Amino acid sequence: MSDIKRLTEKECYEYFKEYNTPDHVIAHCEAVSNTAVTIAKELNKHGFNLDVELIRYAGLIHDVARVEDHHEIIAADMLEKAGFHDEAAIVRVHMRYDFNEFDKLNETDILCLGDRVVKEDSYVGIDDRVDYLIHKKGENPERTEKLLEKKSETKLFISEIEKCIGRTLDSLFTLTLDNMLKQVEKPARYIGEERNIVRKDVNDVDVRFAFAFPDMYEIGMSYMGLQILYDIVNKRDNLYCERVFAPAPDMEQLMRDNHYPLFTLETKTPLQNMDVLGFTLQYEMSFTNILNMLELAGISMLSKDRSESDPLIIAGGPCAFNPEPLADFVDAFIIGDGEITLPDMLEKLAEAKKSGISKQEFLKSLADIEGVYIPAFYDVVYNNNNTVKEYIKNWDGAPDVARRAIEEDIDKLSFPVNNIVPIIETVHDRAVVETFRGCTRGCRFCQAGMIYRPVRERSKKSIMDIAAQQLENTGHDELSILSLSTSDYTDFEDLAVDLTKYCKDRDVSLSLPSLRLDTFSFKVLEEIQGYKKSGLTFAPEAGTQRLRDVINKGITEEDIYSAVEQAIELGWRHVKLYFMIGLPTETYEDLDGIAEIAQKVINIHRKSGIGGRFNVTVSVSNFVPKAHTPFQWVAQDTTEQFKEKHDYLSNKLKIKGVRFNYHDDAISTCEAIFARGDRRCAELLMAAHKAGCKFDGWSEYYQRDTWQKVLNEWSMDYRFYNERQRDYSEVLPWDIIDSGIKKDFLKEENDKATKEMITKDCRYGCVGCGINSRVNCSRGGIYE
Amino acid sequence: MNSYIIYFSKTGYIKYTSHLDMLRLFKRAFRRSGIELKYSCGFNPHPKMSFGQPLSLGYESTAEMLEFETDKTYSRDYLVDQLESSTPEGIKITDIGEITAESRTVAASIESAEYIATFPVSYYSKDFEKIVNDYLDQEEIITEKKQKKTKQLVETDIRSKIRSISTNINDDNRLVLNMLLDSGSKSNLSPELVIKTFVDFSDIKCNRYDVEVTRNKLNLPVDFPIQRL
């Protein structure tokens, strides 16, 4: 090749000067050259051996003489004379050219193709280009016909190329990830360069799994479950867990405009190329993001539309305890603790891939793993009144109910010590150790308090070890402990003392959420917070003792007031009070109680004589009845009722020093529909997604009017799901999931609620929730 | 007390880490590394550590500087090893220096910075050498700059802050500008303003996201008391 004389870029621009080529023609030449080169390089990756440099410079020079008549002849003659024979040959024919057979294609074909898909100075594709030519000055039927003929020829040629390169021609001419990242807010959300990220050679692993969090990076990276499963899956050499989050709207728009598929952070692999995609279901209002992420990945949303080559879509987390609204979209759910179930499932897939069994066969092979629910194995029959009649198995091997996976000894489960350290600030940006799972208090509204039973503790030694290693490996300067009720840890006082000392010695701030505020806790708080006193939080949940008895929230006003007195004494200047409204049996008297508590807290400060600034924040959320709780049968307040109650409280809480926050009423209505919905909710979810709903848990993104419209247009009456009191005899959609808690216990608790009777914390005597018939419950009745 | 300066590069996707996030990143890297930083006194002690000059989001760099103070004395190898293994992959420690005499901070001393900007246009498409000369021959180069506090756009003349610009060509025949600009607390010029005014002046067509910028040097005064460790 070395003896062949080739045109250079410098010479091209010298010729442009010589021939007075106008700027817009040069820009066109540059675009054709770039386009043809891009196509040639892609074809060379797929077995061709095209001379890219020849294409580049023939492209650049091809219209050099465009101001002349028969410009291609003039240019070709000039090139020929100068000794650029190959370039000349291409330029000579470029105005009238018929493509070669695909397997015989050469540099001329590629350049001429480039010329046909560029309009002026940019790639537009064949359709736009021909359309432009047809409507150009001098439009006539004869010319149009000829152009259309050329167009169909070119399209045929393009389709051959697309078959060969395995992607569309358009996709070669979109922005790169780098281009997009330069245009978005917080680009570090998408780069995956964090400390402790796991890198594996994707050719060395059997199964590639993407952990998908259906919300933004900052939210997802604050979730410990992600770190736990990332760690556990990646500990196996043959499995690779990567991460993906919902892109923020600015990034999403660019990705859509450029047909850029959703990708994993670790290797930037399109999700379509993963074996398994696993969504975590933390809150119902993230469901639209799941559909949006699938769409952004180019994966069919409905299970039935997906093929053998599509990734398996799985999901787990608290909302999987009523999986039915997502049953049409998800192939398999993981119910309960995922630490064993998830890797087991992925290992099974590794085997299945080797043996080449079908997706259907593979799903069947999962049926005997505890904690797996495969919706496709069950058909739902409905009564005329729209309630569920029954679930009918369409495959005999499916279990009657999907039993929740319960790991009895969580101390044996590994807990991450090499947490990924986010680059940008996340909601919770800190080291986290789980102290125990489960709760004995039995608050009747609380789903977590039911579905994570029994209480299973980690030993103090392993908590201390994990904390030390995590702090060392991450460099975090904050440590938090994770449980449903910090103070309920058996050895809490010792643990708190040890953690406090450990953190103090290392300048690490310690955060102990949901402390029960007794004398000891104040001592600890005084020690760890010193002069930096953040707000003190109480969650009475309801405004009167009567209603607190109904919900079985074992906190009295005396508890609160004596704690507030101590707190004021010790220098706290801000108290936060959390309440729920719309609880079963609630009256306006209970709302008055909320205002009374706030007023009394203010009064305590006044009486203390300490003076200075003092604030109370009252935060009110709207009660959403959840599956697998004693309140799973009750009706929810309507959006209007919530609104009235908010207005009422706003008025009542016009107290100096009191701030009032409340959650959007309409969001709570939507949340409740999915929390206790059935498979027919898929239609609603799909409609919301199509209408553009996403990030519904964010008040700034929640589209109130769109949701209202979608709800009203739905073939079901949405009030059936949230405003209806269910009968005990009714088959509930989530009865297919066995949480380990007996339904009779939930009924008893609901009955007691209506009678305003409390149930004691089960450490003072087993209350018969039924979990000990499944696994050993070590906490029941320990204080008896 | 010891004062050290580390030089590091920031390449690849990590270039999308903002200045504030870089501060947090290094704070954590030091905690992981076990190198004990000196802390400031007062109610809210913070580690004695600061960057030579913030780097814009999206720029790569081969020559970032970070100075820090310690009570203990550390060896060069120890510092390099510990920091290298505590930072994300896109950050490489390239050198370590020691400040040998009482001096102002590096941040307060830096005078100028060198940048390389690569444009998505052919070097040969115009006589860029002449264009750059003409650009620099302007008595003033007026552009709009956002004021930090008020967020309002104000007109400013950047000519006096441009020390030199030369043209270059890369392997793909693209236009490259090597720019030496004022940088630091006394006088500072963002390459963004040069890129914007140059693109307008030379009438080249490109999107901002197609221009790649790398910082490859931060210049201290010659008498700055720094020595390679």
With CA atoms as reference, the chain B residue closest to A187 would be B16
* Per-residue confidence band for B74, with pLDDT thresholds at 50, 70 and 90: very high
CB under 8 Å to A624, separation ≥6 — which residues?
A636, A668, A671, A672, A675
A336-360 in b/e form (b: 16+ CB < 10 A) is bbbbbbbbbbbebbeebeeeeeebe
Give B92 to chain A, closest Cα distance, Å. Answer: 13
Cβ separation of B209 and A182 shorter than 8 Å? yes
Angle of helix A557-569 versus helix A588-608 axis, rounded to 10: 30
CB under 8 Å to A40, separation ≥6 — which residues?
A48, A50, A52, A55, A107, A110
Distance CA A576, CA A615 (A): 8
Count CB-CB contacts under 10 A for residue A192: 22
Angle of helix A141-165 versus helix A23-45 axis, rounded to 10: 40
* Per-residue confidence band for A531, with pLDDT thresholds at 50, 70 and 90: low
List beta partners, residue B162: B181
Distance CA A763, CA A779 (A): 6
3-state secondary structure of A341: helix
Report yes or no: B24 at the A interface, CB cutoff 8 Å: yes
Distance CA A613, CA A602 (A): 11
Q: Which fold has domain A9-173?
A: Hypothetical protein af1432 (1.10.3210)
Query: Residue A530 above 70 pLDDT?
Result: no
Number of Cβ pairs < 8 A linking chain A and chain B: 88
**pLDDT score at A223:** 96
With CA atoms as reference, the chain A residue closest to B31 would be A475
Mean pLDDT of chain A: 94
Distance CA A332, CA A323 (A): 10
Q: What is the secondary structure of A137-159 as a DSSP string? A: SS--HHHHHHHHHHHHHHHHHHH
H/E element, B64: strand B60-70
Task: Tell me the chain A residues in contact with residue B24 when contact means C-beta distances shorter than 8 Å.
Answer: 425
With CA atoms as reference, the chain A residue closest to B86 would be A195
DSSP A727: P
CB under 8 Å to B197, separation ≥6 — which residues?
B135, B141, B143, B158
Report yes or no: B12 at the A interface, CB cutoff 8 Å: yes
H/E element, A88: helix A85-93
Cβ separation of B32 and A424 shorter than 8 Å? no
Tell me the domain boundaries of chain B: 2-99, 112-218
H/E element, B23: helix B19-33
Burial, A578: exposed, middle or buried (Cβ in 10 Å; 0-12, 13-18, 19+)? middle
**pLDDT score at A1:** 47
Burial, A193: exposed, middle or buried (Cβ in 10 Å; 0-12, 13-18, 19+)? buried
Q: Which of A397, A411, A331 is nearest to A365 (CA)?
A: A397
Q: Which two tokens stand for residue A52?
A: 């890219």
Interface confidence (ipTM) of the complex: 0.93
Count CB-CB contacts under 10 A for residue A532: 9
* Per-residue confidence band for B1, with pLDDT thresholds at 50, 70 and 90: confident
Say which amino acid occupies A253: Q
Phi-psi region of B134 (alpha: psi -120 to 50; beta: other; left: phi over 0): alpha
pTM for the whole structure: 0.92
Domain B2-99 part of CATH 3.30.70.580: yes
H/E element, A391: strand A388-393
Residue-wise pLDDT for A450-469, tens only, equals: 999 999 999 999 999 999 99
Report yes or no: B82 at the A interface, CB cutoff 8 Å: no
Tell me the domain boundaries of chain A: 9-173
**pLDDT score at B102:** 86
Mean pLDDT of chain B: 94
Mean pLDDT of A582-605: 96
Task: Tell me the chain B residues in contact with residue A195 when contact means C-beta distances shorter than 8 Å.
Answer: 25, 28-29, 32, 86-88
Give A10 to chain B, closest Cα distance, Å. Answer: 6
Query: Residue B64 above 60 pLDDT?
Result: yes
With CA atoms as reference, the chain B residue closest to A12 would be B124
Mean pLDDT of B148-159: 89
Angle of helix A107-117 versus helix A52-61 axis, rounded to 10: 50
Q: Which of A311, A337, A616 is nearest to A452 (CA)?
A: A337
Task: Provide the percentage of residues in chain A whose pLDDT is more than 70.
Answer: 98
Domain B112-218 part of CATH 3.30.70: yes
Give Dmax over CA atoms of chain A in angstroms.
Answer: 105
* Per-residue confidence band for B45, with pLDDT thresholds at 50, 70 and 90: confident
**pLDDT score at A532:** 64
Least CB–CB distance from B88: residue in A10, A195, A507: A195
Cβ separation of A531 and B29 shorter than 8 Å? no
**pLDDT score at A525:** 82
**pLDDT score at A606:** 93
Q: What is the secondary structure of B105-167 as a DSSP string? A: -HHHH--EEEEEEEEEEEGGGTTHHHHHHHHHHSS--EEEEE-TTT--EEEEE-GGGEEEEEE
Which one of B57, B125, B131, B202 makes the best mutation probe of the A interface by having the most chain A beta carbons within 10 Å? B125
Mean pLDDT of A705-718: 97
Same-fold call for B2-99 versus B112-218: yes
**pLDDT score at A517:** 77
Cβ separation of A195 and B17 shorter than 8 Å? no
Mean pLDDT of B124-152: 92
Cβ separation of B31 and A475 shorter than 8 Å? yes
With CA atoms as reference, the chain B residue closest to A177 would be B13
